[in-house]
Homo-oligomer: A and B are copies of this chain.
Amino acid sequence: MPSTYPRTAKPALIIGSVAIDRIATSVTRTGDILGGAATYASIAASYFAPAQLLGVVGADFPKRFIQRLRKHGVDLRGLRVDPAGKTFFWSGRYGENFDRCENLVTELNVLETFSPKIPAEYRDSRYIMLGAITPALQCQVMDQVPRDAFVLADTRDFWIELTRPDLERLIRRVDLFVLNENEAEALSGEKNLIVAGWNIRKMGPRIVIVKKGSHGSLLFHPDGFFALPAYPVARLVDPTGAGDSYAGALIGYLASVNRTDLPALRRAIAYATACASLTVESFGVNRLSAAGRSRIDLRYRDLAKFTRF
């Protein structure tokens, strides 16, 4: 059920990991499920604009996972299948309140030698999301990106710790930098997230978004500030992929309206919030994938209702 897109819609190109995950919570555990930042992001983006995926999997990557992505019309011409390798595998266990996640297994496998090259078919894409692969790889993609493209970059806490110079080099070049509150504090050295957000803008990105999980998110845009609470989720099942769905919906919505001004960013954040809230209500991409655009639109309208005064 690939969506029909508005006439304004441009493709959204998503670069990042495609994975096999195994997730445990205090309540239950999964078998091998479809995971990876680019997976969540491209499914979320596909609700708004044609999504293009650039990534790599191994020979073990199940056909049904491919079919899941195809169901959303995700363009997989950039998904390389390495016949000699195994797919990136991650296994983690969340604590009772999901405030901590213990990494059980991380096998990079084919990701270890991943060197993303934008294929000819994707060269015209102007809305690009750099999932949280290493900042060095993200920079490598930046070198291939047209100057007039709009680039969103995501990150992880450990890149700030381990490869800060690379990360600083990256964010000098991106348009929109998305990070969570802990990352914002670590990067800026500032506990006050309002100050942190504006300070991170001074490090390069024209636009900064700080995600605060169940407390919503903050937007720092040259034309002003915006804040949105989270969608009220009563039953959190698995937070994996919430941030990736958020970023994917963001880039997808911006691509769909082909605009990056403050009003467009505000609406993009509301759609991103809606998608993230669906993702956390099931393991993996199940709920996000099953939701359909109509349920996303419903949450978008609910968010408007919940915040208007």
Query: Residues of A with Cβ closer than 8 Å to B?
Result: 97, 191-195, 198, 212, 214-216, 218, 224-230, 232-234, 236, 263, 266-267, 269-270, 303-309
Contacts and interface: CB of A to CB of B under 8 A. Distances in A.
A192 B270 contact: no
A216 B229 contact: yes
A270 B227 CA distance: 14
Which one of A215, A267, A269 has the greatest number of beta carbons of chain B within 10 Å?
Answer: A215
A216 B309 CA distance: 14
Given A215-B212, A215-B216, A216-B216, A226 B195 contact: no
A195 B194 CA distance: 28
26 contacts: A192-B214, A192-B234, A193-B214, A198-B234, A218-B229, A218-B232, A224-B305, A225-B232, A225-B306, A226-B306, A226-B309, A227-B306, A227-B307, A228-B229, A228-B307, A228-B309, A263-B309, A266-B309, A267-B309, A269-B309, A270-B309, A303-B309, A304-B309, A307-B307, A307-B308, A308-B308
A190 to B, nearest CB: 10
A72 B288 CA distance: 53
A167 to B, nearest CB: 24
Nearest to A191: B97
Given A194-B232, A228-B229, A263-B309, 19 more contacts: A97-B191, A192-B233, A192-B234, A192-B236, A194-B234, A198-B234, A215-B215, A215-B216, A216-B227, A218-B229, A218-B232, A225-B306, A226-B309, A227-B232, A266-B308, A269-B309, A303-B309, A307-B307, A308-B308
- Where chain A touches its partner, the secondary structure class is mixed
Contacts of A224: 305-306
A97 B214 CA distance: 21
A248 to B, nearest CB: 18
A146 to B, nearest CB: 29
A308 B233 CA distance: 21
B306 A195 contact: no
Contacts of A270: 309
Nearest to A232: B194
Contacts of A225: 232, 306
Contact of A229 (B97, B227, B263, B305): B227
When A and B form their complex, which 10 residue pairs have the shortest distance between CB atoms, in order from nearest? A227-B229, A266-B309, A215-B215, A194-B232, A97-B191, A270-B309, A194-B234, A307-B307, A267-B309, A195-B234
Given A212-B215, A215-B212, A216-B215, A226 B191 contact: no
Nearest to A198: B234
A226 B97 contact: no
Nearest to A219: B306
A226 B307 contact: yes
Contacts of A216: 215-216, 227, 229
Contacts of A191: 97
Nearest to A181: B215
